[in-house]
Structure 1
């Protein structure tokens, strides 16, 4: 507490007390997130939903890793930028993603060139360092190639040709062809679409020239055979139920 003197007039002997407590430091913008809570939802629920969506977490990572290059960034503005970019992807606009992949491919190519240069500088004198730099350079080159392949797949999605497989755990009926039957008066029905009748169909159909109709459901007349059948005699069994062995 610090007191200061006010203006003293004639006959005035009062002193005025003024509070000079240090003000609470303001939270930096890189760690402060301003959000609008919809009516009917608590603050805890709104923060939980944002954390589950991943916007605030990834925005914090971007702000943290970009501080060395771009200085202190606003966490609130970063969340808004990520939300707008995600909405564009949902609407089918992939231009931002294509630009980012192209920029990453260029960066990876620069890393490859620098590591390859360092490997060449150590070649002939420090072979261990040469091998390490070359391995890292080839890894960067592989990542650059994979990034360009991903970009090409986004621009021109591959076409997949798949054959249908009939898989069934029980019996199923497979129709390999459709017959269109056209029959005129006095003519035999013939299949269309170039399909030929197989031998089973020819045997089962009624032929015009004295053919026999094969009907599995029709009753057939009993066949005559040797009707003199004697009754079966009594089976002679030994007293011992067990079968006797022959000598």
Structure 2
């Protein structure tokens, strides 16, 4: 006589989907663990998402919602942004569908109901703008922009040194100014071809045909005799 293999019964916990089950942490009291869960971001956002998803998916288990969102958060902390890219791509597609539907309804009311046409067109353009912003965010995640930062070294006192990443304009202007001054000082009319003050400048070339002037011997001025007698 053979015995039939019996499948062990699966132990089920709390079957109430509206009750959040917590794993006991020995390092914390029950009150502290509940407060940390209530004030945390994961549980609160899981509750909100569960409420909005009820109309489409029915009543979801609150514990499973919290655990699923916690896993996604841990994945993001680890540097994996696949879920964020998936969400943005799906939302961009949804926003594009909203744009097309609102634009279609605006076209149907065109020429007869201008008020309804304007309202539908505004909704269509809002959906189009949100779709564009979503795609821009997705592109920024895939290809982060390069940021050029400026460094400021502030010393003790009123001194401040600014190290700019791109300083070609200021340097070029200063270099051109100094070059222009050097060219003016190095012209032949100044009598020297070098700006270095440590060297002896060359003497200026004069007129060789002109000789030195001889000293002038002026005549002795005679004193005027007094008109009176001695």
TM interval, shorter chain, is 0.5 to 0.7
Deviation at 1:173, TM superposition (A): 7.6
2:123 is equivalent to residue 130 of structure 1: no
Larger % of helix: which? Answer: 2
Correspondence 1:117 to 2:104? yes
Maintained 8 Å contact 2:20/2:62: yes
* Aligned equivalent of 1:186: none
CA distance in 1, matches of 2:117, 2:106: 4
1:153 partnered with 2:140: yes
| Unmatched segments (≥5 aa) in structure 1 | 1-25, 176-197, 210-247
| Correspondence for 1:33 | 20
Q: Which of 152-161 and 64-73 deviates more?
A: 64-73
> For residue 93 of structure 1, what is the aligned residue in structure 2?
80
TM-score w.r.t. structure 1 length? 0.58
- Higher mean displacement: 54-63 or 152-161: 54-63
Return the alpha-carbon distance in structure 1 between the equivalents of residues 150 and 45 of structure 2: 42
> Once the two structures are superposed, what CA deviation does each residue of 1:105-139 show, in whole Å capped at 9, x if it has no partner?
00000000000111111111110000000001000
Residues paired across the two proteins, number? 158
Choose which of 170, 181, 187 in structure 1 pairs with 2:158: 170
Q: Compute the TM-score of the two structures, normalised by the length of structure 2.
A: 0.62
Q: 1-side partners of 2:162 and 2:107: how far apart?
A: 67
- Structure 2 gap ranges (5+): 1-13, 164-181, 183-195, 201-230
- Within a 5 Å distance, the mapping from 1:9-88 to structure 2 comes to 28-29=16-17, 31-88=18-75
Structure 2 CA distance for partners of 1:174 and 1:130, relative to 1, 3 Å: closer
In structure 1, the partner of 2:91 is: 104
Q: Output the CA distance in 1 between the equivalents of 2:100 and 2:162.
A: 61
Kindly report which structure 2 residues correspond to 1:205-244, keeping only aligned pairs within 5 A, or say none. 207=198
Shift of 1:28: 3.7
Does structure 1 conserve the Cα–Cα contact (< 8 Å) formed by 2:91 and 2:134? yes
> Which aligned runs of 4 or more in structure 1 are off by greater than 4 angstroms?
165-169, 172-175
Q: Do the aligned partners of residues 170 and 44 (structure 1) sit closer, same or farther apart at CA in structure 2, a change above 3 Å counting?
A: same
Matched, 1:144 2:134: no
Q: CA RMSD in A?
A: 2.8
